[in-house]
With several copies, the nearest count.
Chain A
Amino acid sequence: MNRTITFAKAINEAIHQEMDRDEKVFIIGEDVAKMGGDFGITSGIWKKWPHRAFDTALSESAIIGLSCGAALCGLRPVAELMFADFIGVCYDQIVNNAAKLCYMFEGKASAQIVVRAVTGGGIRCAYHHSQCIEPWLMNIPGLVVVAPATPYEAKGLLVSAIRSNNPVIFLEHKGLYNKKGDVPEELYDLPLYESKVVRKGNDITLVAAMSMVDFALRAAEDLSKEGVSCEIINPLTLFPLDKETIINSVAKTGRLVIIQEGPKFMGYAAEIGSMVYEDIFEYLKAPMKRVTSLDTPMPFSPGLEDYVMPQYADVKKACSEVMSF
């Protein structure tokens, strides 16, 4: 049965249903148990499973370290990092421990953990609560970075993340929590490592993830009135990336616009652009354009934050530039 629920609720439901199914799954993090999480995402879990929900001290390295160790014993920890920006204090545990355990144990065991983290800007929380940390993780072989844009994707991908034997960083964009969408009540999973063609089109390939997908949809709508047909691709798993879907699309359209929250320099748009430039140069009809945040820390004042974040006007501009090239 389909219902309309929020992105937040979809995540909560995924955890509930997986915990129901597999007693090796538990949740751990700051305020995730009794309070149900700083953003309320894990509410109800501790009540149902008081021995499988753990409030911790402010010790992110210990949270990830413990999760890795427990995973080596066959458990399936779902850890919450609260704000993704806090990944800095446990970065070593993520990149040098979680990411490498499968390789170190030759697949006999691995860091089968999920690290849920709230990412992105837009709520006036400045430098340390607004960052897009995706690129900090995407150069680390062994990690998986998942980034849903809809409640449906959030539930299905989180279920797959929990079942995966790889360490999955599951990014929840704070701007999406209240977003509603159709979500089956039953337990289902969605494949990792597969991009989604959100909309079919022939003239421009728009790549966008998380809250940027809305920009892409809006642009596609606007442009369709001008007779320009956009294909929208949401990678869903940012890393390892489903290269093929993007390559196939750009091979068809010849034009690429990437909308990416977070600083431009060395954002993942860079990799997508280079991948295309390297692999299908002969199909390209125009320069690629990146619409991104500015290369600054995130300021607090609303006007400043809005200015730093990607602008819809720039999406439009980029699209007309690649069309008129």
Chain B
Amino acid sequence: MTITKEHLLKVYQDMVLIRRFEEVVEKYSKNGTIPGFIHLSIGQEAAQAGVIDTLKETDYKFPDHRGHGAIVLSSRPEDRKTIMAEIFGKKTGINGGRGGSMHINDLKVRNMGFNGIQGSTVVTSLGTAFASFYNHTDDVTVVFMGDGTLGEGTCHESMNMAATWKLPLIYVLINNQYAISTKYTESHPQEYLADWAKGYLVPSETIDGNDIEVVIESTQKAIERARKGEGPTLIEMMTYRWQGHFSGDPAAYRPQGELESWKEKCPIKQTKSKLMNIYGISELDLDLIQRKTEDEVEGYLQFSLASPWPSTDDATSWVYSDISVEGRK
């Protein structure tokens, strides 16, 4: 497959947006403005942008804990500043500042949110896929999961059920080499984690997760299968997180030179050179995209910084759908 120049340019912009978004989040996390733990996806932009690019708004999306990119790209442009505000814990956040970086959902675009317990969304996503089947709609479900997350028992229960019932569910296994400090080869017996799916007779492949064309092509195939009622697919996308596990982790467990060699394979850089060398787009044009994106994200940042904190009443609302919970007296 080759995608069109316009298409490649569009996903290039998407990746630049993720990168910039994460850079800003990183800065304000490191300087203490953003509370809590932040898991950055710098280096993994192609996997996120490529997958989201192939989905329609009514497809169900389950981002993972390193999912800012997928979340931002799933959202409507006018909502993006509220995603950053959420990460800052502000009242204007898309979830009222109540969830923060790890818990951002947006029903409008069927971003179904993340659950801080690894492997949890892997079974929740069965339910949205099931709903498509129950309601006879053609919406597919995509769940993002990490190489480490594959250790959880829920992965088995999910894959077993999805395969048996041929649910329209796509497992996007982002293999960024590590679960915190543990290399995937130390915690799994397979050389290619995609092989795991074979035990369930589920089609799977291991792809270069830094090549956005490959990501798009592979995801499209999986989505087609799912929409035709042929069941789940697992795609292992090989990539790398440039930062530590969370923003601030020195990542001392990485062998020397590993990061640098992966930086060579930067998905944005790769696409940029394709755009320039194959499609003849000028560096100037690409710089313009960069600058526009920076301005855009600067807007999110200013919005977030200027936004108010939630009021304490917000802590006790919606524990239940119908009855209220006492606050402090």
User: Which residues of A are in contact with B by a Cβ distance under 8 Å?
Assistant: 26, 30-31, 34-35, 38, 55-62, 64-75, 77, 85-86, 88-89, 92-93, 96-97, 100, 102-110, 112, 123-129, 141-142, 144, 164-166, 193, 240, 294-297, 299-304, 307-308, 311, 314
B328 and A294 form a contact (CB under 8 A): yes
A66 and B130 form a contact (CB under 8 A): yes
Q: Please, how many angstroms separate the alpha-carbon atoms of A293 and B6 in the complex?
A: 54
B79 contacts A by Cβ under 8 Å: no
Enumerate chain B residues within 8 angstroms of A70, measured Cβ to Cβ.
127-128, 130-131, 134
Task: Give the contacting residue for A69; candidates B99, B131, B152; CB below 8 A.
Answer: B131
How many B residues are at the interface, by size bracket?
A: 35 or more
Q: Please, how many angstroms separate the alpha-carbon atoms of A110 and B127 in the complex?
A: 13
Q: Which has the most chain B C-beta neighbours within 10 Å: A58, A97, A100? A: A58
CB distance from B318 to the nearest CB of A (A): 4
Task: Give the contacting residue for B154; candidates A34, A61, A72, A193; CB below 8 A.
Answer: A61
Q: Please, how many angstroms separate the alpha-carbon atoms of A59 and B123 in the complex?
A: 10
Task: Give the contacting residue for B103; candidates A60, A66, A300, A307; CB below 8 A.
Answer: A300
Task: Give the contacting residue for A104; candidates B95, B127, B310, B326; CB below 8 A.
Answer: B95
B112 and A300 form a contact (CB under 8 A): no
CB distance from B315 to the nearest CB of A (A): 4
Binary A-proximity of B253-279 (CB < 8 A = 1, otherwise 0):
100000000000000000000000000
B310 and A301 form a contact (CB under 8 A): yes
B127 and A68 form a contact (CB under 8 A): yes
B248 contacts A by Cβ under 8 Å: no
B89 and A302 form a contact (CB under 8 A): yes
Known: A104-B113, A106-B318. A61 touches B153 (CB 8 A): yes
- Given A66-B127, A88-B117, A126-B36, 18 extra CB contacts under 8 A: A35-B180, A57-B160, A57-B182, A69-B124, A73-B131, A73-B135, A74-B131, A89-B153, A96-B120, A104-B98, A107-B317, A126-B98, A128-B117, A295-B325, A300-B35, A300-B103, A307-B315, A314-B328
CB distance from B316 to the nearest CB of A (A): 6
B113 and A126 form a contact (CB under 8 A): no
A102 and B89 form a contact (CB under 8 A): no
Of all chain A residues, the one with the shortest Cβ separation from B87 is A300
B318 and A107 form a contact (CB under 8 A): yes
Task: Give the contacting residue for B126; candidates A62, A100, A193, A301; CB below 8 A.
Answer: A62
Enumerate chain A residues within 8 angstroms of B97, measured Cβ to Cβ.
299-301, 304
A307 and B312 form a contact (CB under 8 A): yes
CB distance from A110 to the nearest CB of B (A): 5
Known: A58-B152, A301-B309. A69 touches B130 (CB 8 A): yes
Enumerate chain A residues within 8 angstroms of B125, measured Cβ to Cβ.
65, 69
A297 and B319 form a contact (CB under 8 A): yes
10 A–B pairs (Cβ distance < 8 Å), ordered by A: A31-B179, A61-B157, A62-B154, A69-B112, A73-B127, A89-B153, A96-B116, A128-B115, A301-B309, A303-B310
Task: Give the contacting residue for B315; candidates A26, A35, A59, A299; CB below 8 A.
Answer: A299
Q: Please, how many angstroms separate the alpha-carbon atoms of A71 and B321 in the complex?
A: 13
Ranked nearest first, the 9 interchain pairs of A and B with the lowest CB-CB distance are A69-B127, A65-B123, A128-B116, A57-B151, A300-B100, A73-B131, A301-B89, A57-B187, A35-B181
B321 and A107 form a contact (CB under 8 A): yes
B120 and A92 form a contact (CB under 8 A): yes
CB distance from B102 to the nearest CB of A (A): 6
A299 and B314 form a contact (CB under 8 A): yes
Enumerate chain B residues within 8 angstroms of A144, measured Cβ to Cβ.
320
Enumerate chain A residues within 8 angstroms of B9, measured Cβ to Cβ.
none
A65 and B328 form a contact (CB under 8 A): no
Enumerate chain A residues within 8 angstroms of B148, measured Cβ to Cβ.
57-58
Of all chain A residues, the one with the shortest Cβ separation from B189 is A57
CB distance from A264 to the nearest CB of B (A): 9
A59 and B99 form a contact (CB under 8 A): no
Enumerate chain A residues within 8 angstroms of B122, measured Cβ to Cβ.
65
Q: Which has the most chain B C-beta neighbours within 10 Å: A26, A57, A72, A103? A: A57
Known: A57-B157, A59-B153, A301-B90. A65 touches B127 (CB 8 A): yes
B322 contacts A by Cβ under 8 Å: yes
Enumerate chain A residues within 8 angstroms of B154, measured Cβ to Cβ.
61-62, 65, 89
Enumerate chain A residues within 8 angstroms of B124, measured Cβ to Cβ.
65-66, 68-69, 72, 97
Task: Give the contacting residue for B180; candidates A31, A86, A141, A311; CB below 8 A.
Answer: A31
Enumerate chain A residues within 8 angstroms of B175, measured Cβ to Cβ.
none
Enumerate chain A residues within 8 angstroms of B325, measured Cβ to Cβ.
141, 294-296
Of all chain B residues, the one with the shortest Cβ separation from A83 is B116
B253 and A34 form a contact (CB under 8 A): yes
CB contact list, B143-170 vs A, under 8 A = 148-154, 157-158, 160-161, 164
Enumerate chain B residues within 8 angstroms of A85, measured Cβ to Cβ.
116-117
Q: Please, how many angstroms separate the alpha-carbon atoms of A96 and B149 in the complex?
A: 17
Enumerate chain B residues within 8 angstroms of A86, measured Cβ to Cβ.
117
CB distance from A287 to the nearest CB of B (A): 15
Task: Give the contacting residue for A30; candidates B107, B112, B126, B180; CB below 8 A.
Answer: B180
B232 contacts A by Cβ under 8 Å: no
B78 contacts A by Cβ under 8 Å: no
B116 and A129 form a contact (CB under 8 A): yes
Of all chain A residues, the one with the shortest Cβ separation from B98 is A299
CB contact list, B166-196 vs A, under 8 A = 179-182, 186-188
Known: A66-B130, A311-B328. A103 touches B35 (CB 8 A): no
B28 contacts A by Cβ under 8 Å: no
B96 contacts A by Cβ under 8 Å: yes
Enumerate chain A residues within 8 angstroms of B60, measured Cβ to Cβ.
73
Q: Please, how many angstroms separate the alpha-carbon atoms of A286 and B270 in the complex?
A: 73
